[in-house]
Amino acid sequence: MGDAIVIPTEVARALREARQVVALTGAGISAESGVPTFRDAQTGLWAKYDPQELATPQSFRRNPKLVWDWYAWRRELVAAAEPNPGHFALAEIERRVPQFTLITQNVDSLHQKAGNIAVIELHGNISRIKCYEEDRIVDHWQEPDEDDHPRCPHCGGMLRPDVVWFGEMLPAAALRQAINASRSADFFLTIGTSGIVQPAASLPFEAIENRAITVEINPSETPLSAWMHHALRGPSGVILPALIAAAWPEFIV
């Protein structure tokens, strides 16, 4: 038997009494759904590639086929993935608190699949495809022959996933909404993120300025840990349901 998860009473009470709850999620929340994180060791087919090097416009220009194939593999992987108890717990929190905003760096739609409605996607969505030349979303495209690259039906430009690569701007409206929500939060969760990719990693500090109670959920320490009021160490699929049970003891799964 593993150790029982203990949620500090003040964390449970703060969540129960909060008016504006914001959660910032990263790849770790989807780890228990079988979606690999970025900075944990990769396994399988793509183990020899560094995700941080593939997720750049430079890589795409240098080797569009490699980058396209990597995203095609991940697109299939996330399409088959199901939300885990951590995702479902966040959907439950959205139903229980007066105002809730979910800010995600993930591109896998698992929060929406779990039932969250107020979801801000900071880094796009892997299931959408857009034209690299014209930044236009494309609904239909054809997988090309072996060595060719899929092309935009409108202008013939190369197609790419509608995600945000290093050095690219985040979608302006999403970032603005995320900053505003963080600035008005009274309870702020960071869940399953290494907290090193900007500007997402700065959002907890907006909440800290508003004197929010801040809580990190992650099995490991991160650069954000020192700034948070509380750290709940463990997988989010275990901690988040325990947090709900502690905040709303009348809650029955």
Binding site for ligand BJW (CB under 6 A): 26-29, 31-32, 37-40, 55, 105, 107, 123, 163-170, 192-194, 196-199, 218-220, 222, 235-236
User: Does 123 participate in catalysis according to the annotation?
Assistant: yes
Choose the catalytic residue: 87, 111, 123, 154.
123
Nearer to ligand BJW, 111 or 186 (CB): 111
d(CA 139, CA 76): 17
Nearer to ligand BJW, 17 or 221 (CB): 221
Nearer to ligand BJW, 40 or 76 (CB): 40
- 3-state secondary structure string across the chain: CCCCCCCCHHHHHHHHHCCEEEEEECCHHHHCCCCCCCCCCCCHHHCCCCHHHHCCHHHHHHCHHHHHHHHHHHHHHHHHCCCCHHHHHHHHHHHHCCEEEEEECCCCCHHHHHCCCCEEECCEEEEEEEECCCCCEECCCCCCCCCCCCECCCCCCEEEEEECCCCCCCCHHHHHHHHHHHHCCCEEEEECCCCCCCCHHHHHHHHHHCCCEEEEECCCCCCCHHHCCEEECCCHHHHHHHHHHHHCCCCCC
Minimum Å gap between C-beta 19 and ligand BJW is 26
Nearer to ligand BJW, 15 or 175 (CB): 175
Minimum Å gap between C-beta 155 and ligand BJW is 23
**Please, is 106 exposed, middle or buried when counting C-beta atoms within 10 Å of its C-beta (0-12, 13-18, 19+)?**
buried
Minimum Å gap between C-beta 239 and ligand BJW is 8
Minimum Å gap between C-beta 75 and ligand BJW is 10
Say if strands 230-232 and 213-217 run parallel, antiparallel, or are unpaired: parallel
Residue nearest to ligand BJW (CB): 28
Nearer to ligand BJW, 39 or 96 (CB): 39
Kindly list the catalytic residues: 123
